[in-house]
Amino acid sequence: MLFLEWQQEENRGEDGDWTEIYKFTLDPRRLEDYAEMCQFHQSSPCSFFFCKSLCTILTPEGRLTYIGRRLITTTFPKEGSVLETSTRDLQDDEIPGVLKEKFGIVLKSPLIPKDEPMTPLPVIY
């Protein structure tokens, strides 16, 4: 509950109103409606998911994220504290062990980590 309260405060604008992050309607959608963006995320150098190896899991204390060649531990704030994040750089040979120990993922073939820089999206006015 504390984390949700913290998120509430973070999402308020200067006037105290909610900051708009996402818009959606309640119109029904079909799987095909998402095909174009799915293709983008799988194949574009502008996509985070194309450029980085990624695995994340929610824990009772926060979140654990493997991304590229880093392990990021995020701890939810406790009463009167702030969100804490620590990052550890990983060597390629230790990544499979981290995936097994922290995420319960056992790889059947060698992992080739992706940790490429993303290409910025073109600015369209």
Mean pLDDT of the chain: 87
**What is the model's pLDDT at position 18?**
72
Query: Each residue of 28-84: pLDDT tens digit?
Result: 999 999 999 999 999 999 998 999 999 999 999 999 999 999 999 999 988 888 889
SS3 6: helix
Cα dihedral 42, 48, 54, 60 sign:
negative
**What is the model's pLDDT at position 74?**
96
Domain ranges of the chain: 43-104
